[in-house]
Amino acid sequence: MTKKELIENPNSPLNKAADDEPLFVLRSQDVCGPLTVIDWMNRAHRAGASLPKLGGAFEDAAEMLRWQAERGCKVPD
């Protein structure tokens, strides 16, 4: 999801989080981002996550890779 979609969707992970809940954001420009999402998918699968949840994460990783192919990526700063 894009930043705008996360903010506007009341059911997004961002909006589901408690106001005092720590979050970790991965950006598409982060060279580690897509593979980190794929690693999360593997761990979530082993923990029993649903197929729709895993599919959504896969779509996010693919979208991040497309973004990187078009715009480039860099080491996190």
- pLDDT, tens digit, for every residue of 16-63? 999 999 999 999 999 999 999 999 999 999 999 999 999 999 999 999
- pTM value is 0.87
Question: Mind listing the pLDDT tens digit for each residue in 1-29?
Answer: 889 999 999 999 999 999 999 999 999 99
Amino acid at 21: E
Token match 């794929």: residue?
A: 38
Q: Per the domain annotation, does 62 fall within a domain?
A: yes
Domain presence at residue 16: no
Query: Per the domain annotation, does 21 fall within a domain?
Result: no
Number of domains composing the chain: 1
Q: Is residue 1 part of a domain?
A: no
Distance CA 64, CA 60 (A): 6
Tell me if 38 sits within 8 A of 55, measured CB to CB: no
What's the domain range around 59?
Answer: 34-77
CB 14 within 8 A of CB 7: yes
* Inter-residue contact 15 to 9 (CB < 8 Å): yes
2 in a structural domain: no
Report how far residue 19's alpha carbon sits from residue 55's, in angstroms, rounded to the nearest whole number: 27
